[in-house]
A and B are shown apart, each in its own frame.
Chain A
């Protein structure tokens, strides 16, 4: 029996996946590096255009159960392109374009193999945009693996660097364990409910004797996702991996990987497991509180910008997780709050990574040598050397802290607060408020350094047009969303 495929619905994924193979082939047959960068970013932009075109249409679903097998149950489609999916696909693709822009200089500087780099980046992106559209557990796991596997290789592409190999191995082991845990959870859920499609799991009647089994399954699935999005106590890989990988890859991990992971978690909890809200609600609440507290406290003591961003991104995971602590009570609003926070966080964090990448490429005055590992102290006086870059970084940091004039960060926090209080988890809102205050310190301390008197030896900041464009795009996004945060807050819709 042949199933019809709605090619329009899967167009973004298809475009990116075909481009990935195309880039690999072009590189093998000797196409110059610059062309590969253009093909790669062009394919992502084309995917973004198809997402925008789809957004004006209705909800599309494909890979559904054929009517002969469906019985009296729901349609059970594996791939759904609704507004939730399209928002995340647009976010991931736009972020991927910025990552490609950041990568152009990095590939030359770190002597990375260009074709393989773009191939792996596009493959991982294809996994991410499949993940946010997946509506059954098998598609979710396969998409999550398509997202994870290329990233191990991307992290390790600096083959001469021991730190990179260590980071890659760490990420690989953590990821494999989390996949195993998650698969075990899925097998328990399948055993108890007899369904793989999320809409069928939600409707399944589970006998009382199997309720504990299903609950354990749900908890294990959450634990699997928690590894991927670096939630305490499964966070320990993040700082080392961010530090060991090329900076654009770290940006990819902290923005695209994380956004897709949270989308997957939200899809699973909201569509598949609403009946177990009493089980996962409190668990997610405790994880969120631990994550934001530990992340912020450790971030206070960091001296390297990348490690600071890593710990801050762990802390931010806590904020993103917080609304889901409501359990099945007011769940749609909670999911909307998480989605809004993830979307706004992606813009500001990507911007911060872009500036850190650009700053890492400065040259010592009169030489052609790059400085060794940056410390936060090196950022002193950046405002005198490059006022634009310092202003951009300061703005991103203020957004991450959630202070005016970084209205987008402020609104993101307010949305999360409102969802937590509306869902009756006031204690978590209190923990979050305390954490926001802790976060202020390290974000602002870094921002203040930018405007202090310079003391280090002089250097040349020649970032190149690509990185400049990346910073410009992120800064423009942050400014637009600060002036009009309703752009994101109103488009955020319920997952179906």
Chain B
């Protein structure tokens, strides 16, 4: 148990060292550099273009729905890949094939529901 926590001590020291290097670099820079702020220098840097409007912006909740639908397909694929590697092997067969289509059927039901509720149409 003692050596176990000993290992963490090394990690802790490493974290302290890392923080020290970053803080030392930035602190040293701050001490050495000249400090003459102007209005232009203090504006937000946006690739050389003057910033427009505020930091708060609204985004369409519609994107969120599409992100959800993407998750449906991602989960779909995650289960399909391992299945695809084994279903043709010996000992598997029509049952394995059928089971995957049951799973796909459930996903398709979700998609059909979304389509029917007009989630998929872009307005």
A25 touches B109 (CB 8 A): yes
**What is the interface of chain A mostly: helix, strand, loop, or mixed?**
helix
| CB nearest to B113 among chain A residues | A28
Number of residues of chain B lying within 8 A (CB) of chain A: 12
Q: Which residues from chain B contact A373 at a C-beta distance below 8 Å?
A: none
Contact pattern, A 15-26, Cβ under 8 Å of B = 1, otherwise 0: 000000100110
Q: Which residues from chain A contact B92 at a C-beta distance below 8 Å?
A: 1-2
B91 in contact (CB, < 8 A) = yes
A7 in contact (CB, < 8 A) = no
Q: Which residues from chain A contact B93 at a C-beta distance below 8 Å?
A: 2
B64 in contact (CB, < 8 A) = no
Contact pattern, B 45-80, Cβ under 8 Å of A = 1, otherwise 0: 000000000000000000000000000000000000
B95 touches A2 (CB 8 A): yes
Q: Do A1 and B91 contact each other (CB < 8 Å), given the known contacts A24-B109, A25-B112, A28-B112? A: yes
A28 touches B117 (CB 8 A): yes
Q: What's the nearest-Cβ distance from chain B to residue A43, in Å? A: 16
| CB nearest to A30 among chain B residues | B116
B96 in contact (CB, < 8 A) = yes
A25 touches B91 (CB 8 A): no
Contact pattern, B 83-110, Cβ under 8 Å of A = 1, otherwise 0: 0000000011101100000000010010
A21 touches B106 (CB 8 A): yes
B109 touches A2 (CB 8 A): no
Q: What's the nearest-Cβ distance from chain B to residue A10, in Å? A: 13
Per the bound structure, the CA–CA distance linking A28 and B91 in Å amounts to 40
Per the bound structure, the CA–CA distance linking A24 and B113 in Å amounts to 7
Q: What's the nearest-Cβ distance from chain A to residue B97, in Å? A: 11
B95 touches A21 (CB 8 A): no
A25 touches B113 (CB 8 A): yes
B116 touches A28 (CB 8 A): yes
Segment 204-234 of A: residues with Cβ below 8 Å from B? 209
Contact of A29 among B91, B95, B96, B116 (CB under 8 A): B116
Q: Do A21 and B109 contact each other (CB < 8 Å), given the known contacts A2-B96, A29-B116? A: yes
Per the bound structure, the CA–CA distance linking A182 and B89 in Å amounts to 38
| CB nearest to A25 among chain B residues | B109
Most buried by A among B92, B93, B113: B113
Q: Which residues from chain B contact A24 at a C-beta distance below 8 Å?
A: 109, 113
Per the bound structure, the CA–CA distance linking A73 and B27 in Å amounts to 63
Per the bound structure, the CA–CA distance linking A29 and B1 in Å amounts to 62
Per the bound structure, the CA–CA distance linking A29 and B92 in Å amounts to 37
Segment 12-62 of A: residues with Cβ below 8 Å from B? 21, 24-25, 28-29
Segment 17-51 of B: residues with Cβ below 8 Å from A? none
Q: Which residues from chain B contact A1 at a C-beta distance below 8 Å?
A: 91-92
Per the bound structure, the CA–CA distance linking A15 and B48 in Å amounts to 63
| CB nearest to B109 among chain A residues | A21
Q: Which residues from chain B contact A25 at a C-beta distance below 8 Å?
A: 109, 112-113
Per the bound structure, the CA–CA distance linking A2 and B98 in Å amounts to 12
Q: What's the nearest-Cβ distance from chain B to residue A130, in Å? A: 16
Per the bound structure, the CA–CA distance linking A479 and B12 in Å amounts to 67
Q: Which residues from chain A contact B113 at a C-beta distance below 8 Å?
A: 24-25, 28
Q: What's the nearest-Cβ distance from chain A to residue B45, in Å? A: 38
Q: Which residues from chain B contact A29 at a C-beta distance below 8 Å?
A: 116
Per the bound structure, the CA–CA distance linking A1 and B91 in Å amounts to 6
| CB nearest to A1 among chain B residues | B91
Q: What's the nearest-Cβ distance from chain B to residue A208, in Å? A: 12
| CB nearest to A115 among chain B residues | B113
B91 touches A2 (CB 8 A): yes
Q: What's the nearest-Cβ distance from chain A to residue B54, in Å? A: 28
Q: What's the nearest-Cβ distance from chain B to residue A29, in Å? A: 7
Q: Which residues from chain B contact A21 at a C-beta distance below 8 Å?
A: 106, 109
| CB nearest to A2 among chain B residues | B95
Q: Which residues from chain A contact B96 at a C-beta distance below 8 Å?
A: 2
Per the bound structure, the CA–CA distance linking A24 and B95 in Å amounts to 27
Q: Which residues from chain B contact A2 at a C-beta distance below 8 Å?
A: 91-93, 95-96
| CB nearest to A119 among chain B residues | B113
Q: Which residues from chain A contact B106 at a C-beta distance below 8 Å?
A: 21
Q: Which residues from chain A contact B116 at a C-beta distance below 8 Å?
A: 28-29
Q: What's the nearest-Cβ distance from chain B to residue A280, in Å? A: 25
Per the bound structure, the CA–CA distance linking A21 and B105 in Å amounts to 10
Q: Which residues from chain B contact A28 at a C-beta distance below 8 Å?
A: 112-113, 116-117
Q: What's the nearest-Cβ distance from chain A to residue B19, in Å? A: 28
| CB nearest to A4 among chain B residues | B95
Per the bound structure, the CA–CA distance linking A21 and B96 in Å amounts to 22
Q: What's the nearest-Cβ distance from chain B to residue A25, in Å? A: 6
| CB nearest to A3 among chain B residues | B95
Q: What's the nearest-Cβ distance from chain A to residue B28, in Å? A: 42
Q: What's the nearest-Cβ distance from chain B to residue A152, in Å? A: 16
Q: What's the nearest-Cβ distance from chain A to residue B106, in Å? A: 7
Contact pattern, B 1-13, Cβ under 8 Å of A = 1, otherwise 0: 1000000000000
| CB nearest to A29 among chain B residues | B116
Per the bound structure, the CA–CA distance linking A380 and B100 in Å amounts to 59
Q: Which residues from chain A contact B1 at a C-beta distance below 8 Å?
A: 209
Per the bound structure, the CA–CA distance linking A351 and B12 in Å amounts to 59
Per the bound structure, the CA–CA distance linking A168 and B109 in Å amounts to 26
Per the bound structure, the CA–CA distance linking A28 and B118 in Å amounts to 10
9 interchain pairs, CB-CB under 8 A:
A1-B91, A1-B92, A2-B95, A21-B106, A21-B109, A24-B113, A28-B112, A28-B117, A29-B116
Known: A2-B91, A24-B109, A24-B113. 5 other contacts (CB 8 A): A1-B92, A2-B92, A2-B95, A21-B109, A25-B112
Give me the interface of A with B, judged by CB distance under 8 Å.
1-2, 21, 24-25, 28-29, 209
Instruction: Give 4 closest A-B pairs by Cβ, nearest first.
Output: A28-B116, A28-B113, A21-B109, A2-B95
